[in-house]
Amino acid sequence: MLKKIRITLGFVVLLLAGFGLLTKNFVAQPFMMLGLSAFILVGGLDELKKGKKSRGYISIFLSVFVLAILVQSFTS
């Protein structure tokens, strides 16, 4: 189940990033960052499920960090 979610989120993030690069229109960048945060979070949960705690916690921390950057960019 987590693998399907990761593939879907990865595809969505890739499409949004490609859209921004090709059109030079970065309107969808916040959605891309939100998708990236969710992608990293799901990856971290998958690592925790596999028993690799250090990788899982690092991924979850990075996911929260990307989300914090997104919130900061909205507030400024």
d(CA 45, CA 1): 12
Return the pLDDT at 73.
87
DSSP character for 76? -
Tally of domains in the chain: 1
Return the pLDDT at 26.
84
C-beta separation of 44 from 60 below 8 A: yes
| pLDDT at residue 76 greater than cutoff 90 | no
Q: What is the pLDDT of residues 12-25, one digit of tens each?
A: 999 999 999 999 98
Give the predicted TM-score (pTM) of the model: 0.87
Query: First and final CA of the chain: distance in angstroms?
Result: 37
> Residue 14 is part of which domain span?
2-75
d(CA 60, CA 74): 21
Q: Cα–chain-centroid distance for residue 45?
A: 13
C-beta separation of 47 from 55 below 8 A: yes
| pLDDT at residue 46 greater than cutoff 90 | yes
| pLDDT at residue 2 greater than cutoff 90 | no
